[in-house]
Amino acid sequence: MTAPLDHATRKWSVPAGVVGAGIAESDLGTAPVITEALHHAIDSGLLTYLPDSADSAAREAFAGFAARRYGWDVDTDAVATIPDVLTGLTLALTHLVRPGAVVLPTPAYANFFPTLAGSGREVIEVPSRGRGHGFALDLDAIESALARGAAAVVLCHPHNPTGTVADRATLVALAAMAEHHGARVFSDEIHAPVVYDGARHVPFASVSTSAAHVAITATSASKGWNVPGLKAAQLVLTNPADRGVIAARALAPVHAGSVLGAVAAAHAYSPDGERWLDATVTTLEGNRDRLATALTTLPTRPLSVLPAATYLAWLEIGCTPEPDSCGAARLRRAGLATTPGEACGSGYAGFARFNFALLPDVLDVAIDRLLDALA
């Protein structure tokens, strides 16, 4: 099995013959409207710090996309261009969140752990409910952590690694409890462009006045349009008090996103970019359904939740008696590289996160290996 591109991406930096289905990059390429704009920018020598014109174009395009796609009215002044979502988390923790522990619902995107540790925060892992039958935030456990003084909750919405989407009532309740305890919610909405079954993403900050007040939202074109290497994300500050703080303390030009990333974002979030996204989401939904159908042939079903969003499936693989044969290690022995469950929080060693943003023939091979490993 070889990489689908003529060079190894990060996801395909695996030994020859192994399928790269781990890190959240997509093999489906990106929108031609983006690559054309990037070629033009490079040919024009636009390799500088981020100029205001490219920054404004990206922020305005995002506001237009949020209005069309989510029905979310975002003030362009509320949007700041930053290098990536994890930088947004660090900025939030450094400048906007009071001292105190941070609640991280698990399983969680693995890189939240080092980012939180790097910010010197104690992490309170709150396992989600309904391990085998759908995942939901454990609001009672989150509330008790907030009552004990936790300063923030990291919400991943839609959720990596399970692909679940929190419902509006949950988001409203989370916002109310955060406001009550004087805490903030960092809402990572990087996967919001990829939502299935004709559903519409509901931005956390949009669900109530409290949510807009407590939210610090970060998103990016990097997953939906597969441009994570370009380093431009959007920090959306719906609490006006945050804007001055970030502008004064954090966003010197060197902290802003890259100019090529901003060019990519401006075109990703354009109507043309959105048409490409729609077609890609349809392809990914087909991949999800092929995977889900194939897994129904197994006596025990490793997919406890059909992802409602993201191109990630959270599989309960379990362990066999051989050494090194739990979760992702078990799949690795079958020639399939996935993200290990143990990287996503305590108690998830039997799980693996499978990235199904694969080309059709590669998906066939990956599914065969998954079935073989679990048969």
Interface with ligand PLP by CB under 6 A: which residues?
24, 84-86, 109, 156, 160, 188, 190, 220, 222, 228, 233
Q: What is the nearest approach in angstroms of ligand PLP to the Cβ of residue 154?
A: 9
Nearer to ligand PLP among residue 344 and residue 367 (C-beta): 344
Report d(CA 73, CA 65) in Å as an integer.
10
Q: What is the nearest approach in angstroms of ligand PLP to the Cβ of residue 191?
A: 6
Is residue 9 within 8 Å of 21, Cβ to Cβ?
A: no
Q: What is the nearest approach in angstroms of ligand PLP to the Cβ of residue 182?
A: 25
Nearer to ligand PLP among residue 110 and residue 373 (C-beta): 110
Nearer to ligand PLP among residue 57 and residue 312 (C-beta): 312
Query: Measured at CB, which residue is nearest to ligand PLP?
Result: 84
Nearer to ligand PLP among residue 163 and residue 302 (C-beta): 163
Q: What is the nearest approach in angstroms of ligand PLP to the Cβ of residue 185?
A: 14
Q: What is the nearest approach in angstroms of ligand PLP to the Cβ of residue 229?
A: 9
Q: What is the nearest approach in angstroms of ligand PLP to the Cβ of residue 323?
A: 30
Q: What is the nearest approach in angstroms of ligand PLP to the Cβ of residue 315?
A: 17
